[in-house]
Structure 1
Amino acid sequence: MPATAPRCYTLLGAPFDGAATLGWPGSRYAPARIRDAMGWILQRRENGQIYCLDHGQLHPFPEDLFADGGDVAVVAHDLEATLRAAADGVRETLAAGRVPILLGGDDSLLFPAARGLAEAGEGTVAVVHLDAHLDLLDRNEQQGSHSHSSGMRRAAELPAVDVSASVQLGARHFNFPSSLRFREAQGLRNIPAAEIHRRGTERVAEEVLAHVAGADRVLLAFDIDCIDPAHAPGAGAHEPGGLTSFQALDLVQRLAPRADAMVLTEVNPLTDLHEQTANLAAYLVAHFVVHGGLPGTAGPAPTLEA
């Protein structure tokens, strides 16, 4: 049988934080800063390859592996139009045979990323959601129905999203009792940050891959605040006790081959320190691309200890 062609990736910016109703706004500036940081990484490509020291391996990196598709048609005053444009960007990128990476912006963008992936084909979608928070708020007077507190709730309502095959990683501290009731009723798996610290990223990633195995497609949704603010100060909210930068990178490396799209949100240049968080976000994107592998593969077998 002929070999399956390597997947190619397209970066889409969504410079929008109009749904950042809590915490600090400012994530609209993140796509530009992350793109700048990507240049530091991409200049290490030589002759269609890049060398990953984490595993001591050369990886293919041809010219068309990674492309910048520009920004989606954000409408600053119109949340619904912006969410629709983001979903269209994800869907159209998939229709072109490429893997979309949607850069927020605030975490309301989880919903259109899931929507675009769901609209791109038949079958079910699982969401692997890395976040300090559950984002399962239905609605309230101040935040409405679409905010950075409700992205996962709105995604769970999409007919194609298999909530029981989805999983949340990195949550910590306190949340609404109504979110617990929703999780229990829907069978939504949650692996909090404390459990990841105890068990290590290798075992957790293996469990996640087994959990999403029944879904046809997978969205990797990454809110930067799943990482401890000591490692990612440029975030919309600070929750101590989060993942280390190493744990986050290792999880992305291990999960990337199974993911059909990625959305990365809540990087906030206004609270960042010396571009530390934008740089980390760029490395998360780079590892997602480099370790994404072929469709359906289990990915590299890292020897790193979590």
Structure 2
Amino acid sequence: MSVSTTRRFTLLGAPFDGAATLGWPGSRYAPARIRAAMGWILQRREDGRIYCLDHGTTHPFPEDLLTDGGDVATVAHDLTATLAAAADAVRAALAGGRVPVLLGGDDSLLFPAARGLAESGPGSVAVVHLDAHLDLLDRNEQQGTHSHSSGMRRASELPNVDVSRSLQLASRHFNFPSSLAYREERGLRNIPAAEIHRRGVDPVVDDVLAHVAGADRVLLAFDIDCVDPAHAPGAGAHEPGGLTSYQALHLVQRLAPHVDAMVLTEVNPLTDLHDQTANLAAYLVAHFVVHGASTVES
């Protein structure tokens, strides 16, 4: 017998880019711009429902489906304190029975999102990491150990994170040979953007869901630079050959019912064009909420 479960979501901002040691800073301004773009979407609610043209379906959208929990206690000069506050906020949302959606900020915030989810209860956590880069850097002199290049590395070291059930999507171009060695050592699967283009989104999502099926909880970590800069110019780095906006939205729609927390990072209003990227980020969140509100458990 299948049981339908209805979920509620909490939006959290983390206006911090102090760990953006490469590329362009400016993602500290993203939560405010994404929230502003959300207003354009949410005004389509009517009598507690919203109509999704993609699938020709209406969905429940009561007032408490998505609430804004405000910004985490960001400390501009203190990376450690900010990461701890972000983990605390994710953990608190989960303790309140809500699905946290953490808006960065730079991609160092992947780590506290994973930590908050991993520490929210017993069992294992799988991370589905969409990113142009691997973010598996251990440390170097310029970036230290917890920069935006190390979020997935630090997350993979958490006791409850099951690296063998985690995977990375939409990576491309070049990276450190040491990151390849770490991936192979830990059994971390990678599906590059080129493979997604060749195979299509649906077969890849089917693979992802089968891969994470053994984990107790799943984190969706979405760095906006997994999307091609033609579709998302407001990013911390530009890597051609990424996902289209349609592919990104479709991925999120398919994954949403299976995900227990989301962190969305690296939207950069300082490099954006007419809020194009902030708007895409807002739609990613909206689809995550609408399509992830109802889950079916066997």
Counterpart Cα distance in 1 of 2:290 and 2:45:
11
1:68 matched to 2:82: no
Structure 1 residues 215 and 3 mapped into 2: Cα distance closer, same or farther (>3 Å)? Answer: closer
Could you list the per-position Cα deviations for residues 147-192 of structure 1 after superposition, in whole angstroms to 9, with x for gaps in the alignment? 0000000000000000000010000000000000000010001000
Using the alignment, how far apart are the partners of 1:167 and 1:2 within structure 2? 28
- Name the counterpart of 1:151: 151
Instruction: Write the distance in 1 (CA, Å) between the matches of 2:269 and 2:79.
Output: 21
Q: Which amino acid aligns with 2:40?
A: W
How big is each residue's C-alpha offset from its partner over 1:184-220, in whole Å with a ceiling of 9 and x where there is no partner? Answer: 0100010000000000000000100000000000000
Residue 239 of structure 1 is matched in structure 2 by 239
- In the alignment, the residues of structure 2 paired with residue 143 and residue 200 of structure 1 have an alpha-carbon distance, to the nearest angstrom, of 35
Query: Partners in 2 of 1:281 and 1:297 — Cα distance?
Result: 28
Count the aligned residue pairs. Answer: 298
- Specify whether residues 187 and 35 from structure 1 end up closer, same or farther in structure 2 by C-alpha distance, changes over 3 A only: same
Cα distance in 2, alignment partners of residues 244 and 294 from structure 1: 26
The alpha-carbon deviation at position 293 of structure 1 amounts to: 3.4
Please say if residues 5 and 297 of structure 2, whose CA atoms lie closer than 8 Å, have aligned partners that are also in contact: no
In the alignment, what sits opposite 2:31?
A: 31
CA deviation digits over 1:76-98, x for unaligned, max 9?
00000000000000000000000
Question: Are 1:9 and 2:16 matched, yes or no?
Answer: no
Structural RMSD (CA): 1.2
Equivalences for residues 85-234 of structure 1 within 5 A: 85-234=85-234
Structure-2 residue corresponding to 1:302: none
Q: Are residue 285 (structure 1) and residue 273 (structure 2) matched?
A: no
**CA 1:3/1:197 → structure 2, altered by over 3 Å: closer, same or farther?**
closer
* Superposed structure 1 runs of 4+ greater than 3 Å apart: 1-5, 295-298
1:248 and 1:167 map into 2 onto residues whose CA distance is: 16
- Give distance in 1, aligned partners of 2:264 and 2:144: 22
Indicate if the aligned counterparts of 1:165 and 1:215 stay in contact, CA closer than 8 A.
yes
Deviations 1:85-124 (Å, cap 9, x if unpaired)? 0000000000000000000000000000000000100000
Q: Deviations over 1:28-66 (max 9, x none)?
A: 000000000000000000011000000000011111100
Return the alpha-carbon distance in structure 1 between the equivalents of residues 225 and 76 of structure 2: 23
In the superposition, the TM-score normalised over structure 2's length comes to 0.98
**Residue matched to 2:260:** 260
Residues 205, 254 of structure 1: 8 Å contact kept: yes
Identity of aligned residues (%): 82
Distance 1:175 1:148 in 2: 14
Instruction: Decide whether the 8 Å contact of 1:257 with 1:297 is kept in 2.
Output: no
